[in-house]
Amino acid sequence: MERIIFFDGVCNLCNASVQFAIERDKKNLFKFTALQGEYAKAFLPKLNVDLSQLNSIILLEDGQLYTKSTAALKIARKLNGLWPILYVFILVPKFIRDWFYDIIAKNRYKWWGRQESCWLPTAELRQKFID
């Protein structure tokens, strides 16, 4: 089963979220790649994903793409600790969950800042990244 998390590589919040997930992915279920990376640029347009309009984390799980709050909740569901409890919020209608998600996504650079280039993983974490 393949699970790939596509994230905004220059977003400080997104990078912190990836590091958070890596620390709690004890079963090594996820691979990661930046939306700005070559893999995302080559792969996602084949699935009709417009990278210029993307304001979301994307989870590819078993050939299915999930975005925004659904992606975040599906990721939390697989993490170690109490994080899977958050999956109960999947019961909240998607338009409500995504409304909150969109507020954070719209303000992520203003509130958390951004980097000039994508975050580079340490040598020991490189096997978790596609490119």
DSSP codes joined into one string, 29-79: --EEEETTSHHHHHHGGGGT--GGG--S-EEEETTEEEEHHHHHHHHHHHS
Domain range spanning residue 88? 3-125
Check pLDDT > 70 for residue 125: yes
Number of domains in the chain: 1
Q: In this structure, is residue 20 part of a structural domain?
A: yes
User: pLDDT, tens digit, for every residue of 75-113?
Assistant: 999 999 999 999 999 999 999 999 999 998 888 878 888
pLDDT for the residue numbered 123 = 67
Strands 3-7 and 58-61 come out as: antiparallel
Helix (H, G, I), strand (E, B) or coil at 94: helix
* pTM, entire model: 0.87
Token digits for 103?
């507020």
Residue 117 banded pLDDT, cuts 50, 70, 90: low
DSSP code at position 129: B
Q: In this structure, is residue 98 part of a structural domain?
A: yes
User: pLDDT, tens digit, for every residue of 34-85?
Assistant: 988 899 999 999 988 888 777 889 999 998 999 999 999 999 999 999 999 9
pLDDT for the residue numbered 115 = 72
Q: In this structure, is residue 130 part of a structural domain?
A: no
Q: In this structure, is residue 108 part of a structural domain?
A: yes
Q: In this structure, is residue 131 part of a structural domain?
A: no
The crossing angle, in degrees rounded to 10, of helices 12-24 and 94-112 is 110
